[in-house]
Amino acid sequence: MYTSGKYSSRGPALIPRMKTKHRIYYITLFSVVLLGLIATGMFQFWPHSIESTADWTLDKRSVHDAPLIRLPVSSPIPERGDLSCRMHTCFDVYRCGYNPKNRIKVYIYPLQRFVDELGVPISSTGLSREYNDLLSAISDSDFYTDDVTRACLFIPSIDVLNQNSLRIRETAQALAMLPRWDKGMNHLLFNMLPGGPPDYNTALDVPRDRALLAGGGFSTWTYRQGYDVSIPVYSPLSADVDLPERQPGASVVIPEEKLSEMYTILKSIPHRQVEEMQRQARWFWEAYFSSMKAIGLTTLQIINDRIYPYAARTYEQWNNPPVVKWSSVNSPLFLPLIPPRAPGFTAVVLTYDRVESLFRVITEISKVPSLAKLLVVWNNQNKSPPEETLWPKISVPLKVVRTKENKLSNRFFPYDEIETEAVLAIDDDIIMLTSDELQFGYEVWREFPDRLVGYPGRLHLWDHEMGKWKYESEWTNEVSMVLTGAAFYHKYFNYLYTYKMPGDIKNWVDAHMNCEDIAMNFLVANITGKAPIKVTPRKKFKCPECTAIDGLSLDQTHMVERSECINKFASVFGTMPLKVVEHRADPVLYKDDFPEKLKSFPNIGSL
Amino acid sequence: MERCSRGHMQAKKRYLILLSAGACLVLLFYLGGVQLPAASRSRHDRSRNGHRLEQPWPHFSDPLHPFLPWDQTDTEDYNLHISPRQKRDINTSVYKGKRCRMDSCFDFSLCRKNGFKVYVYPQQKGEKISESYQNILSTIEGSRFYTSDPGQACLFVLSLDTLDRDQLSPQYVHNLKTKVQNLPLWNDGRNHLIFNLYSGTWPDYTEDLGFDIGQAMLAKASISTENFRPNFDVSIPLFSKEHPRTGGERGYLKYNSIPPFRKYMLVFKGKRYLTGIGSDTRNALYHVHNAEDVVLLTTCKHGKDWQKHKDARCDKDNAEYDKYDYKEMLHNSTFCLVPRGRRLGSFRFLEALQAACVPVMLSNGWELPFSEIIDWNTAAVIGDERLLLQIPTTVRSIHQDKILSLRQQTQFLWEAYFSSVEKIVLTTLEIIQDRVLEHASRSSLMWNSHPGGLFALPQYSGYLGDFPFYYDTLGIRPYPKFTAVIHAVSPLVSQSQPILKLLAAVAKSQYCAQIIVLWNCDKPLPAKHRWPATSVPVIVIEGENKVMSSRFLPYEIIVTDAVLSLDEDTVLSTTEVDFAFTVWQSFPERIVGYPARSHFWDSNKERWGYTSKWTNDYSMVLTGAAIYHRYYHFLYTNYLPTSLKSMVDQLANCEDILMNFLVSAVTKLPPIKVTQKKQYKETMMGQSSRASRWADPDHFAQRQTCMNKFASWFGAMPLVHSQMRLDPVLFKDQVSILRKKYRDIERL
pLDDT higher than 50, residue B28? yes
Partner B contacted by A14 (CB < 8 A): no
**How far away is chain B from the Cα of A582, in angstroms, using its nearest Cα?**
6
- CA angle at B14 for the pair B9 and B18, rounded to the nearest 5°: 150
pLDDT higher for A288 or B595? B595
Q: What is the CA radius of gyration of chain A?
A: 36
How many Å apart are CA A81 and CA B487, to the nearest integer? Answer: 66
Distance, in Å, from the CA atom of A340 to the CA atom of B82, rounded to the nearest integer, reads 75
Looking at the complex, report in whole angstroms how far the Cα of residue A517 sits from the nearest Cα belonging to chain B.
20
Chain B residues near residue A490 by CB distance under 8 angstroms: 256, 258
Selected for mutation to probe chain B from A206, A588, A594, A604 (highest B CB count within 10 Å) is A588
- Percent of chain B whose predicted confidence (pLDDT) is above 90: 60
ipTM exceeding the 0.95 mark: no
Beta carbons of B255 and A343 less than 8 angstroms apart: yes
A127 to A121, B63, B451: CA distances (angstroms)? 11, 10, 51
Least confidently predicted of A399-403, A457-461, A545-549, B396-400: A545-549
**B71, B161, B656, B727: the active-site residue:** B656
Burial environment of residue B122 by CB neighbours within 10 A (0 to 12, 13 to 18, 19 or more): exposed
Residues B582, A255: C-beta atoms closer than 8 Å: no
CB contact under 8 A, A8 and B21: yes
Tell me the C-alpha distance between B337 and A443, whole Å: 37
Residue of B226, B409, B439 to mutate when probing chain A, most A C-beta within 10 A = B439
Instruction: Fill in the amino acid letter for B642.
Output: T
CA dist list (Å): A230 to A201, B133, B583, B588, B695: 15, 38, 46, 39, 66
Using a CB-CB distance cutoff of 8 angstroms, which residues of chain B are in contact with residue A204? 94
Q: Which positions in chain A touch B56 (Cβ < 8 Å)?
A: 108, 139, 144, 146
- Residues for chain A: how many in total? 607
Which site among A220, A237, A305, A579 would you substitute to test the B interface, given the most B Cβ atoms closer than 10 Å to its Cβ? A220
pLDDT in tens, B543-576: 878 899 999 999 999 999 999 999 999 999 999 9
- Over the stretch B467-483, which tens digit does the pLDDT of each residue have? 999 999 888 999 999 99
Q: Cβ separation of A586 and B61 shorter than 8 Å?
A: no
Between chain A and chain B, the number of residue pairs with CB atoms below 8 A apart is: 454
Mutual angle of helices A516-528 and A505-512, in 10-degree steps: 160
Q: In this model, does residue A312 exceed pLDDT 90?
A: no
Reported as a single tens digit per residue, the pLDDT across B33-56 is 444 444 444 444 434 444 444 457
Asked if A167 and A123 touch (Cβ cutoff 8 Å), the reply is yes
Residue A541 has pLDDT above 90, yes or no: no
Q: What is the DSSP string of B141-179?
A: HHSTTEES-GGG-SEEE-SS--SEE-TTSTTPPTTHHHH
Task: Say what angle helices B2-49 and A2-9 make with each other, to 10 degrees.
Answer: 160
Residue A176: helix, strand or coil by DSSP? helix
In this prediction the pTM is 0.83
Inter-chain touch B465–A276, beta carbons under 8 Å: yes
The CA distance from B408 to B412, in Å, is 6
Listed in sequence order, the residues at least 6 apart from B1 whose beta carbon sits closer than 8 Å to its beta carbon are none
For residues A272 and A377, which has the higher predicted lDDT (pLDDT)? A377
At CA A587, angle to CA A585 and CA A593, rounded to 5? 125
* Cα A445 to Cα B722: distance, rounded to the nearest angstrom: 11
pLDDT: is B57 or A74 the higher one? A74
Q: Distance from B172 to chain A by nearest Cα, in Å?
A: 29
Q: How many CA atoms does the CB half-sphere of B269 hold within 13 Å?
A: 20
Which residue in A126, A478, A584 is closest to B727 by CB distance?
A584
Catalytic annotation on B656? Answer: yes
Rounded mean pLDDT of A144-153? 90
pLDDT in tens, B128-174: 899 999 999 999 998 889 999 999 999 999 999 999 988 888 888 88
Q: Is A332 within 8 Å of B404 when comparing Cβ atoms?
A: yes
Partner-chain contact B729 A196, CB within 8 Å: no
Using CB atoms, pick whichever of B27, B256, B378 lies closest to residue A333: B256
Would you say residue B78 has pLDDT above 50? no
Q: How many CB atoms lie within 10 A of CB B646?
A: 13
| The dihedral formed by the CA atoms of A520, A521, A522 and A526, expressed in degrees to the nearest 10 | 110
Closest-CA distance, B370 to chain A, in angstroms, reads 14
